[in-house]
Structure 1
Amino acid sequence: MSDFITFGILSFTSFFTLINPLGTMPIFMTMTAELNIQQRTKTAKKASVVAFITIVFFAFSGQLLFNFFNISVNGFRIVGGVIFFLMGMDMLQARLGKVKVKDSEVKSYVDDISITPLAIPMICGPGALTNAIVLMEDANSFEKKITLIITVFMVMLLTYIILYSSSKIINILGQTGINVMMRLMGLIVMVIAVEFFFAGLQPILLEMIN
């Protein structure tokens, strides 16, 4: 039971920090500035649903990708650890990789910005996809797999709520508050990165020694 709870907490924490909906808020507000409340709500909902489907798809198709490209899970953990660490470094410095949109191109994005760039790659980026594949490999029971899916759903629901309430949250936290939250999340991501890196490196080193 303890292992089951630990897996659930790890899944929720890692997905929430990697997706970082609080960091996405300012970009979401900027890109939906010309939309009314109903259109903004629809955009947030569609982006969250698309991101959820994409993450679940990659979680279940991860093993097929491994077999097709002859990639080991441990190698993927090492690469994932490096990706997470670099993302954590940027977050620790309150520096996000923003999607740049020229003023002249904003209106063309309004039609379907919920899919790209909001859902992919801002919400559902390389870090979240890597995390989904690795955690699904670690989910060695049916209960853990269900827990992983529920966890992703909960994070996406929170992401939708945060984006929907973005105007109020930004006014409450302010830019300083958002930067502080981003730094805390960055620290958590870096710790997860170290765990992933050495979890993948240890079996490879043992195999080389043997």
Structure 2
Amino acid sequence: MNEALSFALLAFTSFFTLINPLGTMPIFMTMTAELDQSNRTKTAKKASLVAFFTIIAFAFSGQLLFSFFGISVNSFKIVGGIIFFLMGMDMLQARLARMKVQDDQVKSYVNDISVTPLAIPMICGPGAMTNAIVLMEGADTLMKKIALITAIAVVMLLTYIILYSSSKIIKILGETGNTVMMRLMGLIVMVIAVEFFLSGLRPIVDEMFHA
């Protein structure tokens, strides 16, 4: 039992660090600034659920999927880095804050952004997927598997709560505060994107030179 609890704690801390819901919050705030409270809540809920089921799917079958399609984690990191960089560029130029959503397009907009980019790759990115695969391989007992799934569920619940709470932050900051915060976070997202890109590219380049 103690072994399962230790494994659950390891899973929780690693997933919370990799997913980093506090880092996702500014992007969520920016992309949902034009939505009302109910649609913002719906977006947070759907993004968290999609990310949860995606991580669980990768935990149980990720290694098979990667092998079947010939995809490497490093390639996934490169693509994720490009997506992050383009998103950070838009945030830095304050483009996302001016996104207006028509009433008849709200449902479609919520469905689109809750899956991509919020759920994938912001919440459920290459790091979280890889972590799920590695930890599932180490879960050699039923209790450890249950502990892993529970830890992922708790992290996703905390992610939802943090994203849901961002509505209050939007009201406190106001339009000017949101724009300033978005530009600052855009710069940070671009730095993260470069790190993602290089961490995926470096092993591929090393392999090419050694070959």
**What pairs with 1:1-210 in structure 2 (closer than 5 Å)?**
1-65=1-65, 68=68, 99=87, 100=90, 102-103=95-96, 107=101, 110-112=109-111, 113-168=113-168
Match in the other structure for 1:92: none
The 1:146/1:39 distance shift into structure 2, 3 A limit, reads: same
Residue 26 of structure 1: CA displacement? 0.8
Matched residue SS, 2:137:
helix
Residue 3 of structure 1: CA displacement? 2.8
Cα distance in 2, alignment partners of residues 129 and 38 from structure 1: 30
Letter in structure 2 aligned against 1:22: L
Q: With structure 2 as the length reference, what TM-score do the two structures score?
A: 0.64
Residue 146 of structure 1: CA displacement? 0.8
Matched residue SS, 1:35:
coil
The 1:120/1:161 distance shift into structure 2, 3 A limit, reads: same
Letter in structure 2 aligned against 1:156: M
Letter in structure 2 aligned against 1:153: A
Letter in structure 2 aligned against 1:27: I
Cα distance in 1, alignment partners of residues 116 and 86 from structure 2: 13
Letter in structure 1 aligned against 2:109: V
Match in the other structure for 2:206: none
Letter in structure 2 aligned against 1:110: Y
1:98-137, Cα deviation, whole Å (9 max, x unpaired): 7247457664783421111111111111111011001000
Cα distance in 2, alignment partners of residues 12 and 116 from structure 1: 24
Matched residue SS, 1:132:
helix
The 1:110/1:68 distance shift into structure 2, 3 A limit, reads: closer
Q: Is the 8 A contact 1:55 1:129 kept in 2?
A: yes
Q: Is the 8 A contact 1:27 1:98 kept in 2?
A: no
1:54-111, Cα deviation, whole Å (9 max, x unpaired): 000010003423664799xxx97xx6xxx7xxx9xxxxxxxx7572474576647834
Q: What runs of 5+ residues in structure 1 fail to find an aligned partner? A: 88-95, 187-210
The root-mean-square deviation of aligned C-alpha atoms, in Å, is 3.6
